[in-house]
Each structure stands twice: as structure tokens, then as C-alpha cells.
């Protein structure tokens, strides 16, 4: 009997991908076992984050890294680090910034619902650029000179949403920011796979990069990574920790050596509500090592085979497309028909939840990452039954 039976919560087949509302994905037994082992002993959390730092360093090439309670938490903590640096007085004051050096420059076309994580610790978003390639009448987006023109003494950092369509290119944005001594904080939450992206954004000039641990990495649902410049990562860590400690019992390890030069210890920081547990840190470390070591071709082939099992069981003409993650698209011809199919799948036992991003076009999407092979075949069978 599963804990979900005990709690009386029906499980679902999640064909949406690792979305948060559907509880992310399914962890490998090795990751679950790491979490279990972590849960039955106590450790010093700074020592555990130092170990995670070594794992993240190896996987990303970053100077340093910490495990966070998600990519959103990593963005919040990264912003707090950019706002306060290693100044405990600035940390204590957040989200207030007395000298007003709190502005985050954001390209208008990169605004998104996750960027409010910048505002929580005290940043103020300054938008630049006119993305008329999106609105239709033009082909251009923001240029890096427009970012430069928005820089003032109040600018604290530049935020960048990583994505295939994101403009200007990260290398150009980083060049402008660095010329003015400003860090670039990159949201790369959903940019894995390909696993080479673990290193790419840092190589292209990011000072901090945020990844989700609960998406394709396959870590605990509420885990994430903040990786990058050692001083900024150390600041982010400090603003998340339980700091109800006297200075004389505070001895940061070499991984966070920047914290040895503080003029004093701040109190619990603005990131304290982003607390991450030892179980998540242990699970993320194992998941990240497995993700980085896996053969990308074999990983994609396994996802593809899963979807081919779905298509075969459905007996329908379902096309498989997509980029690093293959996705099956079931074309039902109209929004009404797609809505009927979606409701039928969600109304069965177990409920099947699929991607609705193209429902207006009459298309339902099936993502393999958070399903088992057996579940994918069951989805196909249910589609065949509904179509009959």
C-alpha cells in the first residue's frame, strides 16, 4: 500500500512533463535512497552545502554552487546576493536598500512570471527594449546598447532568461554588464537537457545561473541549483541559512571562504523562507551526478521509445516532434475535440494529465519525462478507447 493510498490521494499519469502542479517527475530509486539515508542522521548544513558545492562545481565548471529549494528560490537568493554582496548590514536590511542600488535590468521580451522572485528580496525591475518581433510589425528585439543606456548608479545587476529565442545573446549582455562591473543572473531553470547547458551559460558570461532540480535533472521536486561566482554564491548561501549563532562558533569551510572575511554575522536573511532540507541536498547531488554522467543520446532515445510505445498502443497517427525532449502531438482537428479528449483522459482512473499548450489548435501534447514506459502505453490504450 502506497502512502498515497493511506492519505486517500489518487495518483495521476503525468504526461505534462515535470510541472510543479503535477508534482514534478518520478525520481530514480538511487535518488530516493539518498534522500532516505539523509533523513536518518543529522549533519552541519554548511558542511553539507560544501559537499554539494563540490558536486555542482564538477558538473557545471562553476567556481561554487549551492542547492536551493528550487530554481525560483535560486533566483531569489541570487538576486539577494547581487543586492547585498558580502555586506552583512545590507543583508540585514533587505528587502530595503538604503542607497537605492537595487535595480535589475530586464529585457522586456524576457519578462516572465518567475521574475517576481527578483522583487521579493528587494530588487526593482527596469525594463528595456521593444520586442516588435513578437508584436508583429518588426523583426528586432532589445539591443545590448539599450541595456547599457539603462545602467545608472542604482543598477545592481542584469537578469537574463535563457532560451533559444532570448535576445540579445548572453555573451553580448554579459560584455556590457561586466564593462560596468555588474553581475548577470541567468534563469536557466528549464534549459536542461541538453546537459551541456550545465556549463554553457557560465561559459557565456553568466555570474550566477539557476537550474531546477525537479525537472529533467530528476532530483527532488523542491530542489534547485544556484551556481557561479564564489563570492555571490557564498552571499546567497548566507542569506538562506539559520544564522542564530555566535560569531565564535562560525567557521565556514574552504568552499565558502568569502564568508571568512565578514565584519560580522547577519541575522536570518531574506532567503530564510527558501530553506532547503538535507534530504533535498543529498537527493539533488545524486541526481545531478547521474544526469551529468548519462549519455544524452541514450537518454533521448529512451524518451523517444517511451513515446513510440504510446503511439503504437493508441493506433492513431500521432506525430513526435520537439527538441532535446521529444513530445507527442495528438491532433484532434478542433479545440472542442481536443477539450473533450483532455476531459475524458483526466476523468478516467488513473487520471491522465497532458500538455494543453496547443489545445487552441486542437492538439494535445504528451511529454515522456515524468511517465514510465508502462504508463505511456496505458495513455496510448486510453486514447485508442476514446477515439473508438
Ligand X SMILES: *Cc1c(COP(=O)(O)O)cnc(C)c1O
**Number of Cβ atoms within 10 Å of the Cβ of 101:** 15
How many residues touch ligand X under the rule CB under 6 A: the total is 11
Q: Which of residues 86-125 bind ligand X (CB under 6 A)?
A: 114
**Number of Cβ atoms within 10 Å of the Cβ of 331:** 16
Q: Which string of x and - marks every residue 159-188 that binds ligand X (by CB under 6 A)?
A: ----------------------------x-
Least distance from ligand X to the Cβ atom of residue 163, Å: 8
Return d(Cα 172, Cα 229) in angstroms, integer.
19
CB closer to ligand X out of 176 and 216 = 216
One of 14, 49, 72, 342 touching ligand X (CB under 6 A): 72
- Cα angle, residue 118 at apex, residues 148 and 64 outer, rounded to 5°: 85
Only one residue has cell 521536486, namely 221
Backbone angles phi, psi at 348, to 5 degrees: -80, 180
Least distance from ligand X to the Cβ atom of residue 59, Å: 17
Part in contact with ligand X (CB under 6 A); list of ranges 64-72, 92-100, 126-134, 229-237: 64-72
Is 239 a binder of ligand X (CB under 6 A)? no
Q: Which of residues 219-238 bind ligand X (CB under 6 A)?
A: 224
Part in contact with ligand X (CB under 6 A); list of ranges 67-75, 230-238, 316-324, 348-356: 67-75
**Number of Cβ atoms within 10 Å of the Cβ of 301:** 12
Is 189 a binder of ligand X (CB under 6 A)? yes
Pairing label, strands 64-68, 224-228:
antiparallel
Is 212 a binder of ligand X (CB under 6 A)? yes
Only one residue has cell 524518451, namely 303
Render the burial of 157-172: b for 16+ CB within 10 Å, e for the rest: bbbbbbeeebbbebeb
Return d(Cα 138, Cα 332) in angstroms, integer.
33
CB closer to ligand X out of 190 and 313 = 190
One of 121, 183, 214, 228 touching ligand X (CB under 6 A): 214
Return d(Cα 369, Cα 22) in angstroms, integer.
12
Return d(Cα 128, Cα 109) in angstroms, integer.
9
CB closer to ligand X out of 113 and 139 = 113
Is 20 a binder of ligand X (CB under 6 A)? yes
Q: Which residue is nearest to ligand X (CB)?
A: 70
Q: N- to C-terminal Cα distance for the chain?
A: 34
Least distance from ligand X to the Cβ atom of residue 55, Å: 18
Binding site for ligand X (CB under 6 A): 20, 70-72, 114, 187, 189-190, 212, 214, 224
Amino acid at each position: 500500500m502506497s502512502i498515497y493510498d493511506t492519505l486517500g490521494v489518487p495518483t495521476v499519469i503525468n504526461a505534462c512533463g515535470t510541472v510543479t502542479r503535477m508534482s514534478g517527475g518520478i525520481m530514480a530509486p538511487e535518488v530516493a535512497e539518498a534522500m532516505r539515508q539523509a533523513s536518518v542522521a543529522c549533519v552541519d548544513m554548511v558542511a553539507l552545502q560544501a559537499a554539494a558545492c563540490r558536486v555542482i562545481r564538477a558538473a557545471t565548471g562553476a567556481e561554487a554552487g549551492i542547492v536551493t529549494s528550487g530554481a525560483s528560490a535560486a533566483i531569489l537568493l541570487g538576486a539577494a546576493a547581487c543586492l547585498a554582496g558580502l555586506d552583512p548590514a545590507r543583508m540585514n536590511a533587505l528587502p530595503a536598500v538604503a542607497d537605492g542600488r537595487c535595480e535589475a535590468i530586464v529585457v522586456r521580451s524576457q519578462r516572465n512570471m518567475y521574475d517576481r522572485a527578483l522583487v521579493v528580496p528587494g530588487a526593482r525591475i527596469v525594463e528595456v527594449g521593444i520586442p516588435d518581433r513578437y508584436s508583429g510589425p518588426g523583426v528586432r528585439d532589445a539591443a545590448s546598447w539599450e541595456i547599457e543606456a539603462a545602467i545608472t548608479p542604482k543598477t545592481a545587476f542584469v537578469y537574463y532568461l535563457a532560451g533559444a529565442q532570448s535576445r540579445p545573446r548572453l555573451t553580448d549582455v554579459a560584455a556590457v554588464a561586466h564593462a560596468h562591473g555588474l553581475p548577470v543572473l541567468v534563469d536557466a531553470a528549464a534549459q536542461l537537457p541538453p546537459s551541456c547547458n550545465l556549463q554553457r551559460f557560465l561559459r557565456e558570461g553568466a555570474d550566477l545561473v539557476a537550474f531546477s532540480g525537479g525537472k529533467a535533472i530528476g532530483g527532488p521536486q523542491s530542489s534547485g541549483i544556484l551556481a557561479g561566482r564564489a563570492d555571490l554564491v557564498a552571499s546567497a548561501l548566507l542569506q538562506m541559512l539559520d544564522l542564530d549563532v555566535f560569531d565564535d562558533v562560525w567557521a565556514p569551510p574552504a568552499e565558502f571562504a568569502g564568508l571568512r572575511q565578514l565584519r560580522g554575522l547577519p541575522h536570518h536573511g531574506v532567503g530564510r523562507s527558501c530553506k532547503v532540507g538535507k534530504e533535498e541536498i543529498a537527493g539533488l547531488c545524486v541526481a545531478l551526478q547521474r544526469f551529468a554522467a548519462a549519455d544524452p543520446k541514450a537518454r533521448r532515445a529512451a524518451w523517444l521509445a517511451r513515446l513510440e510505445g504510446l503511439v503504437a498502443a493508441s493506433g492513431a497517427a500521432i506525430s513526435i516532434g520537439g527538441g532535446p525532449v521529444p513530445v507527442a502531438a495528438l491532433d484532434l482537428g478542433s479545440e472542442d475535440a481536443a477539450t473533450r479528449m483532455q476531459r475524458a483522459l483526466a476523468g478516467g482512473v488513473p487520471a491522465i494529465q497532458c500538455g494543453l499548450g496547443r489545445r487552441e489548435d486542437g492538439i494535445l501534447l504528451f511529454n515522456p519525462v515524468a511517465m514510465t514506459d508502462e504508463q505511456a502505453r496505458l495513455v496510448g490504450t486510453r486514447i485508442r478507447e476514446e477515439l473508438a
